[in-house]
Amino acid sequence: MKEKILVVDDEEGIRLLYKEELVDEGYDVSLASSGEEALERLEEEVFNLVLLDIKMTGMDGIEVLRRIKEKWKGLPVVLCTAYHHYKQDFGTWASDAYVVKSSDLSELKNTVKDVLSRSKEG
Ligand SMILES: [Mg+2]
């Protein structure tokens, strides 16, 4: 069965790009345009991984991450941002991986693959 990824980003272009690339990699991809929407989707459906933008209007990714880890402890979260400095930020420690946004999506795809295989090992 296909692994399910929830892509959360407030920019439509990014959502569609990630969806296209990850579907090509063989994943089942759902999209959410805000943190609030992401949390609703997680209530309705079981996902294998969340790809989460940090900088969003409304609830930011750090807050969404905190809530996810409170409620769905074992669910892997990969944070995405255009900014390197978040790597030092406290809130990002709870994420399973961290990817800096780039036009080259190979790092993103490799990270998703690694995190999913790590989470399967248990
Ligand atoms: Mg954003």
Q: Give residue-wise pLDDT tens across range 26-39.
A: 999 999 999 999 99
Report the pLDDT value the prediction gives residue 85, as an integer from 0 to 100: 65
Q: Output the CA 60–ligand 1 centroid distance in Å.
A: 9
Distance from C-alpha of 87 to C-alpha of 63, rounded to nearest angstrom: 16
DSSP state of 94: G
4-121 fold: Rossmann fold (3.40.50)
Predicted confidence (pLDDT) at residue 90 exceeds the cutoff of 80: no
DSSP state of 2: P
Q: Output the CA 36–ligand 1 centroid distance in Å.
A: 14
Predicted confidence (pLDDT) at residue 87 exceeds the cutoff of 70: no
DSSP state of 27: -
Give the mean pLDDT of the chain.
91
Predicted confidence (pLDDT) at residue 118 exceeds the cutoff of 70: yes
Predicted confidence (pLDDT) at residue 68 exceeds the cutoff of 70: yes
Q: Taking the domains of the chain in order of start, what are their residue ranges?
A: 4-121
pTM over 0.85: yes
Q: How many helices (H) and strands (E) does the chain have?
A: 4, 5
Predicted confidence (pLDDT) at residue 1 exceeds the cutoff of 90: no
Q: Output the CA 108–ligand 1 centroid distance in Å.
A: 16
Q: Output the CA 99–ligand 1 centroid distance in Å.
A: 13
> Mean pLDDT across the stretch 68-88?
84
Q: Output the CA 122–ligand 1 centroid distance in Å.
A: 31
Q: Output the CA 82–ligand 1 centroid distance in Å.
A: 8
**How do strand 49-53 and strand 4-8 relate by DSSP bridges?**
parallel
